[in-house]
Chain A
Amino acid sequence: MANLELDCRGMNCPMPIVRVSRAVRNIAIGDTITVMADDPSFPPDIEAWVRMTGQTLRSITSAGTTRTAVIERCT
């Protein structure tokens, strides 16, 4: 299973979600994207986004102001 890294640090709402939505189209089902973002609304937004789009949020971790989410493409 491949993993794509996406650095969205420095971006603001709604850009991390926009970037993730575009990146997810370029990976296969079952592949993952690791996204790093420091937009404060990123954790709730990525949770809402996976609910809307039917993807899976495997994990979300934080280090300093950076939140790292691992998303699996399911549909």
Chain B
Amino acid sequence: MTTPPITPELEALVARLVDARVEARLQQSGAPATNRASLLVFSGDMDRLFAALTVALASAASGMEVSMYFTFWGLTALRKRKTFAGKSLGEKVVAMMLPSGPASAGTSQWHLGGIGPRFFKHLMQRRHVETLPNMIALAQEMGVRMIACEMSMDVMGIRRDELLDGLVYGGAATYVADAAGAKITLFV
């Protein structure tokens, strides 16, 4: 088979066909990355939560869609109270041991039996840094999607009425669907 001479018309035809195929392939491969930041918040440490919320707020302020998936220790950030009634012994132990909310979260380093968090809170207050509960409320107000991991809640016996209002409840696939279409993904 001999190659036909490449005329401008043939070249234009090939270019059109290639464009059409690329377009079709792109549509098949699912949604392209949206302008989204997706954070997997595993830690319940005060300092790490600060980092996560700071990035989430800055992303939302920069016009990005933000999704935060809270799992295991991270659920601390979403707690508004702790309840004991109707829980098993194991669940009561968890309720007793876990901080009752982001305001009483410990630090990942220099915890020193609770002196560390108070020391850092004092330093932050002096510099007028926003408190964690305020940052979380602001993030919700700015439309940050907050998802609570239902398996962690189930394991630790955390009930929906112990968590903030306006949350989404889901599992790993909910996180994956958000992260797959995100330009920024962080594990905190």
Contact B128 A14 (CB under 8 A): no
A9-44 vs B, CB cutoff 8 Å, 1 = contact: the mask equals: 011111101101110000000000000000000000
The interface residues of chain B lying within 8 Å CB-to-CB of A2 are: none
Q: How far is the CA of A34 from the CA of B113 in the complex (A)?
A: 45
Q: How far is the CA of A53 from the CA of B62 in the complex (A)?
A: 6
B54, B58, B61 pick with most chain A CB within 10 angstroms: B61
Q: How far is the CA of A12 from the CA of B62 in the complex (A)?
A: 16
Q: How far is the CA of A17 from the CA of B64 in the complex (A)?
A: 13
A-B pairs under 8 A by CB, number: 39
In the complex, chain B residues 52-72 whose Cβ is within 8 Å of any chain A Cβ: 54, 57-58, 60-64
A1 on the interface (CB 8 Å rule)? no
The interface residues of chain A lying within 8 Å CB-to-CB of B62 are: 17, 21, 48-49, 52-53
For this complex, into which size category does the number of interface residues on chain A fall? 10 to 19
Contact A15 B130 (CB under 8 A): yes
Contact A21 B128 (CB under 8 A): no
Contact B61 A49 (CB under 8 A): yes
Q: How far is the CA of A22 from the CA of B60 in the complex (A)?
A: 10
B127 on the interface (CB 8 Å rule)? yes
Q: How far is the CA of A40 from the CA of B95 in the complex (A)?
A: 40
In angstroms, how far is the closest chain A Cβ from the Cβ of B167? 21
Q: How far is the CA of A12 from the CA of B61 in the complex (A)?
A: 14
In angstroms, how far is the closest chain B Cβ from the Cβ of A4? 16
Contact B58 A17 (CB under 8 A): yes
Give the interface of B toward A (CB within 8 A).
54, 57-58, 60-64, 127-130, 138, 142
Give the interface of A toward B (CB within 8 A).
10-15, 17-18, 20-22, 45, 48-49, 52-53
10 shortest interchain CB distances as A-B pairs: A21-B61, A14-B58, A52-B62, A18-B61, A17-B61, A12-B129, A14-B57, A53-B63, A10-B128, A14-B54
Given A14-B61, A17-B58, list of 13 further CB < 8 A pairs?
Answer: A12-B130, A13-B54, A14-B54, A14-B57, A14-B58, A17-B61, A17-B62, A18-B61, A18-B138, A18-B142, A45-B58, A49-B62, A52-B62
